Amino acid sequence: MSLKNSIKFKIVSDINGRIRVRCGKYRFTEDMVTAVERYFESESYIRRVQANHHNGSILFYYDDEYRPALLDKIRSLRISSLVPITPDAQQIALM
């Protein structure tokens, strides 16, 4: 994995099974929030993920023994490779 294009982040809270990272204010837009969350939800060890476009934070609840895997997954995130998911697209997907 090339780290050249990997997202930069800072761990701002780290408690067993819960970690919050900050990627930078407005690092992703409001219509990218769902795409960011879905990128991580595909992993079985991630129980819940919540992204915030205002402050660029991502909150994870995960199985604690998978912390190294979670950090690797965060490092592999490429915002530019995600497709925005608008509320309309979400509604269509549910039909």
How far apart (Å, rounded) are the C-alpha atoms in residues 26 and 45?
27
Q: Three-state SS for 20?
A: strand
Of the candidates 57, 68, 46, the one whose C-alpha atom is nearest the C-alpha of residue 13 is 57
Euclidean distance between the first and the last CA atom of the chain, given in angstroms as a whole number: 36
Tens-place pLDDT, residues 65-90: 999 999 999 999 888 888 888 766 55
Tens-place pLDDT, residues 24-67: 887 888 888 999 999 999 999 999 999 999 999 999 999 999 99
HEC profile of 28-90: CCHHHHHHHHHHHHCCCCEEEEEEECCCCEEEEEECHHHHHHHHHHHHHCCHHHCCCCCHHHH
**Which pTM does this prediction carry?**
0.82
Angstrom CA distances, 28 to 3, 5, 17, 61, stand at: 19, 15, 24, 20
